[in-house]
Amino acid sequence: MRKSLKIIRTPGMDLAADGASRFSGGMQGLARFLTSEVSTDNGAFTFKGREALLEPAAALDEILGKRTPDRTISVLKGAQVGMTTLAIGFALYCVIVHRLNVGYFLPDQDFADRFDQTRVRPVIRNESIASIMRDGKYRGASPKGLKEFPGPGGSRFLYILGLRDIGNAISIPLDVLVRDEVDDLPPDNLKWSNDRIDASPLALTLNLAVGRTPGAGIHAMYEAGDRRRWRVKCPACRAESVPEEHWPGILCANGLVCPDCGGALDRGAGRWKAAHVKPRHRSYRLSQLAVGAVRLDRVAAKWAAASLPSEKARFRCSSLAIPDAGDTQPISHELLRSLRDAAPYHLAEAPA
């Protein structure tokens, strides 16, 4: 029932050999669920090489454990850093363990259908969890991507839906919103989706995306939060640096080096530090340079191959998690002002 947020024991929790619940309070919560029940293309999910994901996972788990209401976590990320897999595992954890209704929103229904088949179903390692998940129905919502998890106190739902259809945004009561590919979500429907958690005592939102446009989409959400950056300490001079802010000067043949003294850096041995205090909204900028599981030689090769401004802009977005619209920079008041300042100029028909 939506009136209770008590963690209810479910069939999906009875997975340990001795019959004890592996996901109860003392068993590391979400992190334990991810490493024991979530698969990737390379096997079981692991935080090795993804140490930077530990704090966002712990923050989400703390919110759930304490039932802290009205919290938002936004992740401005690079590509292939493992955050989407974490988000899928988090959604399943909310439904199965914490008995919450979760909406996982994507740009459109075709995208959501493919995501369900290629990303959500394959991550479930344990047949006991898969066996309790069934296709669900909810009045007013698309039946595609609607997963029902029966259990004590009634069923809970995971909705994997596209936000292109306004009905998907306004017909579903939820406890948790997960909004993936934020920069491609319809802005008006994105605002409508906020209303889906108004009746929930928890009302938790997780936003994530590769950002492409400065000041908009996931970048605006990051800026609205406490703006955490991954800082790596040099073991030689003890200075801290944010790797993506020193690219490409921080790169050497053997890895990343301290911009101050040239000492070797361990990408995973960093810490998150916020720019300012915003308890209700944590935001993270997670670049590929913070994730050891992402091969640095491939990152370097992409940069070396980026000769055009548009290619460099794409690299900054997908690898450094620093939005750069490049040639697609939207028209803004600042741009119009710059054009006016550049006068006189004249418009004419282009020659045939």
Domain ranges in the chain are 11-337
Q: d(Cα 299, Cα 255) in Å, to the nearest integer?
A: 11
Q: What is the pLDDT along the chain (352 residues), one digit of tens a residue?
A: 333 333 333 333 333 332 222 333 333 799 999 999 998 888 889 999 999 999 999 999 999 999 999 999 999 999 999 999 999 999 999 999 999 999 999 998 888 888 888 888 888 777 777 777 877 666 666 567 788 888 888 889 999 988 887 766 667 789 999 999 999 998 888 888 888 999 999 999 999 999 999 999 999 999 999 999 999 999 999 999 999 999 999 999 889 999 999 999 999 999 999 999 999 999 999 999 999 999 999 999 999 999 999 999 999 999 999 999 876 555 555 655 665 566 555 555 555 5
Cα 16 to its chain centre, rounded Å, is 29
Q: d(Cα 161, Cα 176) in Å, to the nearest integer?
A: 14
How many of the other CB atoms lie within 10 Å of CB of 77? 27
Let me know: does 172 contact 40? Beta carbons within 8 Å: no
3-state secondary structure of 17: coil
Q: d(Cα 281, Cα 71) in Å, to the nearest integer?
A: 6
| Strand 102-106, strand 156-162: pairing | parallel
pLDDT computed for residue 261 by the predictor: 96
Q: d(Cα 297, Cα 342) in Å, to the nearest integer?
A: 42
